[in-house]
Structures are given as C-alpha cells and as structure tokens.
Amino acid sequence: MTQIKEKIIRIGQMAKQASEDMRQLSSEDRSRILMNISQFIKANHFKILEANQKDIEDAKNKNLSSPLVNRLILDQKKIDALVATVENIAQMQDPLGQILDEWSQPNGLSFKKITVPLGVIGIIYESRPNVTVDAAALCLRSGNIPILRGGKECINSNTALYQCIQDALSDLGFNKNLVCFIDDVDREFVQELIRLDKYVDLIIPRGGLSLIQSISQNSTIPTLKHLNGICHTYWDNEYSEENAEKIIVNAKLRRPEICGATETLLVHEKIDSVSINNVLQSLMNQGCIIKGDKKIKNFFPSAIEATEEDWSTEYLDKILSVKMVKDIEEATKHINKYSSGHTESCLTNSSQTINYFFKHCDSAILLHNASTQFADGGEFGFGAEIGISTDKLHVRGPVGAQHLTTFKYLVTGNNQVRPK
C-alpha cells in the first residue's frame, strides 16, 4: 500500500468517525459553528488575502492563463460575500429530520420517512478558493462531513480558509474533523479518494468538463455532477419584440460564461423579419456573434452560417446559434435532441404553447417568460448551491443543503410478525 493510500484511508476513517459526532449535534449547534466560521474569516481576512496573494504570484510565475488567475483572486468584496453566504446558510431551515411522508398499513405498522445526512462527501474542485468555505458550510448545514480537496493553484488560500474553519470548531470545543481537508496537492490523492467507497458516500467534482468526466468515470462512489449547459430560449410568435429583446439579451449576455447562459435561440417562423432583425442586431451591437441556420441568414445576412455542430456546442462566450422553427413542437423536439437537460426558457403569451413546453420538454429547469440566467441556487431560494446537477438521479438543477440529504424509514409496530 502506498503512503498516499494509507493517508487517505486514515482521512476516510476520521471522517466516518466524525459523522458519528455530527449526529449528536442539534441544528442550533450546526448554526453556531457556521456563525463562528464567519467570525473567524472576518477576523483573519488579512491572513487570507496574504495567502491568496502568494497563490496569485505563484500562478503568474507559472504563466497560468488570465481567466485561471482571475478565478483564484480573492479581495475584500469576495470575502464579504463569502461571510454573507455562510451567515445565510447558518440561518436556513434545518434540512434534517424533515418528515417527507407518513402513513400506516392495515396491519397497524406506522411509517415515517425522514431526512438524514448522506454521511461523508468528497468534494474535488479546481481553482475557486471560495468553494472551500461554501462546501464546508453546506455540508455542516446538512449534517455531512466533507473531505475537501482543492486545486493546487490555490493551496495557500484554501489552507488559510480551512484554518479559520478549524479554529472556529476548536473554539467551540467541537471535533475538528467535522470538516476534513487534504492538504497535499499530489494528484494520487484524488485517484484514491474516488475509490474510498468504504468511507465516502458521495463525490462531487467541480471544475472543467474533462476533470468531471474523468472523475465520474473512474469513481467507485456515486457522483453528483454538472457536465454542461446547452440552454435554449424559444421565442414564440405570440410574444412582444420588446420583451423578447430584453430577455434574450439578458439570457445570452448578462454573463455568457455561466452554465445557465442561453446558447441557442429558437425563433418561431411567423415572427416578422423586422422584429427578428432588431433583436439579433441588438445582440450584435453588444458584441455577440450570431450563427444562424439558412432561414435566419435570409432574414439577417450578418449571421455566420451555423453547422450541425453548433447545435450541441456550449460556447460560454458571446456567441449565439439561432434556428427558425415551425412551432413549439419542433422547438421542443430540437431541445430534447440537443440540450444537455439543464435549463430552457419559453417566451410566449399562449397558454397552449407553455403547457406543451412544460409537458414535453425534458430538461431540469423550464422557465416561462424569464431569462435562463435564473438557473442558480440563490435565485431558487436555496441559500447557496454547491453546483448545478445535470444528472437525473437524486437531484437535478441547483444543489443546495436540502439536496445533500437522504432519508430513512422509521416504522413503529406493536409486536407484529410477518405472516408466511
């Protein structure tokens, strides 16, 4: 057995053991820990920024790309946001012990289905140091023990943030292993962590597509993952140009780099050419490249001709593919074929059209007359999210503390035995 394997097994055992201690804690205890973490982050913001400065310098010395460096950066504003998130999570309703269902059977057995923590969650993330705190806070809220494994580019920031969590736990006299952390950047730790099925109940990978695919394919532990967001907006003919422009521009350009950004616009063929021109021109004026199918190009010659590949491309950039469709039926067919099942929006004032869309479209989040950029745990009222799931099992869409739970059945009898 390698030293790394031995070390990861020890961490797994510690985490499993800590999950027993976690069970003793009340909702108030867990809130108190979260409030104390926010205090320690506030008190140590200089240390955190200093550590972050070191990561940024290292990254620059290694000539990392500027988007990568940007993701690393913490500043006072980001630390304030981090503190606010933790305090928000501290005040959320406890997701544990919720009664999901209750019934009894004719033989007198009575059933209660209640929420409980999943147990131990391995969280593997890349370059955003805020994940260290967000993930720890969501796991504490939901009674789970996280094993955090951040990217090597922000090891100093992560370590400084983790130190605040550790100090907040000891300060209140709780087991420091309620939040576990892998402080070694050797990649072998990730390979071993995703096979630690004896101790770990769930793996959540966060980062680029290739990292996530590689983890989910090699893990012997169930994973909860976000692959990609090929999101659509359908612009129906029964909808005003004014509102369409407002929503489409927001859905594409508010932040083109997020997974909830619209990548394909489907336009009803009966919308007049002037309106189509106006909306596409407005996008172009704001720096957006338009890739249109042949029909769209006829209306709007500045469009680049879209290829088959465009319909399944997540640009994450100021690029929009646009296709003309006969009706909501064709739009839905296109979406169900090319979408990644993340988020779609239908812009229409026809109740028949929205009913068809809601019934037949198969994605996790379906919006009526609103921007796809609302695909976000905060916007859903979940307090914070650990990511957006494009899986179908366990949870779809934004993953908040309430989704990091499972359930157990409590069955109360009166000395019943099962007949032959």
The site for a copy of itself (CB under 8 A) is made up of 20, 23, 103, 105, 109, 111, 116, 118-119, 201-202, 217, 220, 222, 224, 243, 246-247, 250-251, 254, 336, 358-360, 362-371, 373-374, 376, 379-381, 391-394, 396-397, 406-418, 420
- Output 39 or 214, the one with its CB closest to a copy of itself: 214
Q: What phi and psi values does residue 325 have, to the nearest 5 degrees?
A: -130, 155
CB of 189 to a copy of itself, least distance (A): 21
CB of 359 to a copy of itself, least distance (A): 7
- Output 37 or 202, the one with its CB closest to a copy of itself: 202
Annotate 229-245 with b (16+ C-beta within 10 A) or e (fewer): bbbbbbbbbebebeebb
CB of 115 to a copy of itself, least distance (A): 11
69, 56 contact by CB (below 8 A): yes
User: Which tokens is 83 given?
Assistant: 């503190």
CB of 66 to a copy of itself, least distance (A): 21
Annotate 33-67 with b (16+ C-beta within 10 A) or e (fewer): bbebbbbbbeebbeebbebbeebbebbeeeebeee
Sorted by sequence, the CB contacts under 8 Å of residue 242 that are 6+ apart come out as none
Nearest C-alpha neighbor of 203 from the set 186, 226, 187, 228: 226
Residue type, 359: K
State the SS3 of 148-186.
Answer: EECCHHHHHHHHHHHHHHHHHHHHCCCCHHHCEECCCCC
CB of 233 to a copy of itself, least distance (A): 12
- Output 184 or 391, the one with its CB closest to a copy of itself: 391
CB of 255 to a copy of itself, least distance (A): 8
- Output 91 or 220, the one with its CB closest to a copy of itself: 220
Evaluate the CA torsion angle 390, 392, 393, 399 in order and state its sign. positive
CB of 161 to a copy of itself, least distance (A): 27
- Output 97 or 208, the one with its CB closest to a copy of itself: 97
Q: How far is CA 110 from the centre of its chain?
A: 37
- Output 13 or 53, the one with its CB closest to a copy of itself: 13
Sorted by sequence, the CB contacts under 8 Å of residue 181 that are 6+ apart come out as 132, 147, 148, 149, 158, 159, 162
- Output 65 or 285, the one with its CB closest to a copy of itself: 285
CB of 165 to a copy of itself, least distance (A): 25
- Output 152 or 334, the one with its CB closest to a copy of itself: 334
Q: Where are the alpha helices (DSSP H) in 172-310?
A: 188-193, 209-218, 241-253, 273-285, 294-299
CB of 376 to a copy of itself, least distance (A): 8
224, 201 contact by CB (below 8 A): no
Phi-psi region of 217 (alpha: psi -120 to 50; beta: other; left: phi over 0): alpha
- Output 77 or 420, the one with its CB closest to a copy of itself: 420
CB of 324 to a copy of itself, least distance (A): 22
Nearest C-alpha neighbor of 89 from the set 402, 363, 418, 315: 402
CA angle in degrees (0–180, nearest 5) for 63-67-72: 80
- Output 96 or 168, the one with its CB closest to a copy of itself: 96
CB of 366 to a copy of itself, least distance (A): 5
Residue type, 140: L
- Output 152 or 195, the one with its CB closest to a copy of itself: 195
CB atoms within 10 A of CB 146: 26
